[in-house]
Amino acid sequence: MWQYEKKLQYPVKIANPNPKLAQLIITQYGGPDGELGASLRYLSQRYSMPYAEVKGLLTDIGTEELAHLEMICAMVHQLTRNLSEEEIKGTPFANYFVDHTTGVYPVAASSVPWRAEYIASKGDIITDLHEDLAAEQKARTTYDNLIRMVDDPDVLDPLRFLRQRELNHYQRFGEALRLTSDRLNEKNFYSFNPSFDKHCNK
């Protein structure tokens, strides 16, 4: 189960609304490498993990990703608060506004709605951990791209925090992959599914 804590993992305090930035940042909610996909990816994969450390890691990182999507949604919400029609007309945010007003909906910066195809849950620990390592790097690249587009320090600060978390998660997934391969017959690393074919353990 989960329990809600009435706080953000890291503060989001954006003094100046900016709908153009909201339209870019929302991609880390509903985009291909966003936090919504990250949480569902890890929380789905954990059921087929054969090792306790990796069950724990996917549960805990998946949970942290929920806190991250909340931060992204808070950024989008604060960047679009108290807008007048004049501040929206003629901006790229107008297209989003027509569909969702200033409600928060999971879409990519390119306006494609969130899709389950962004994630994988293959029922194979080695396959899934490689997916997770790639996912953390793709998210890091996306944060780098966002940081290039932003000069408001109120927006940069939480983006830099979230970027750093991708690096820490990458490190932990790398350790999970090493823990996994240490338990396998080294002749068989990539020719069996350790989540299903039990004979490939040492």
Partner 1 sequence: MAMKERIYAYDFAIVEMNLYLDTHPEDKDALCLFHQYQEKREQLIEAYEAQFGPYISNVNDVQGDKFTWICDPWPWEYSKEV
- Give the one residue of 2, 6, 117, 202 binding partner 1; rule: CB under 8 A: 6
Does 99 sit near partner 1 (CB under 8 A)? no
Does 5 sit near partner 1 (CB under 8 A)? yes
> CB-wise, 52 or 98, nearer to partner 1?
52
- Give the one residue of 21, 43, 49, 57 binding partner 1; rule: CB under 8 A: 57
Does 139 sit near partner 1 (CB under 8 A)? no
Which residues does residue 184 pair with via DSSP β-bridges, in sequence order? Answer: 201
Q: Would you tell me how many other CB atoms lie within 10 Å of the CB of residue 199?
A: 8
44 contacts: CB under 8 Å, gap ≥ 6: 119, 121
Minimum CB separation of residue 117 from partner 1 in Å reads: 28
- Rounded to whole angstroms, the Cα distance separating 46 from 58 reads 6
Does 14 sit near partner 1 (CB under 8 A)? yes
Whether 12 and 71 have beta carbons less than 8 Å apart is answered as: yes
Does 172 sit near partner 1 (CB under 8 A)? yes
Which residues from 66-95 bind partner 1, rule CB under 8 A? 70, 73-74, 77-78, 81
Whether 127 and 41 have beta carbons less than 8 Å apart is answered as: no
Does 157 sit near partner 1 (CB under 8 A)? no
- Rounded to whole angstroms, the Cα distance separating 32 from 115 reads 8
Minimum CB separation of residue 135 from partner 1 in Å reads: 16
Structure tokens at 112: 């494609």
Task: Tell me which residue of 65, 69, 85, 89 sits closest to 77, measured CA to CA.
Answer: 69
Does 53 sit near partner 1 (CB under 8 A)? yes
Which residue in the block uniquely carries the two structure tokens 């999971």?
Answer: 106
Does 126 sit near partner 1 (CB under 8 A)? no
Whether 108 and 31 have beta carbons less than 8 Å apart is answered as: yes
Question: Where do contacts with partner 1 occur on this chain (CB under 8 A)?
Answer: 3-15, 52-53, 56-57, 60-61, 64, 70, 73-74, 77-78, 81, 168-169, 172, 175-176, 179
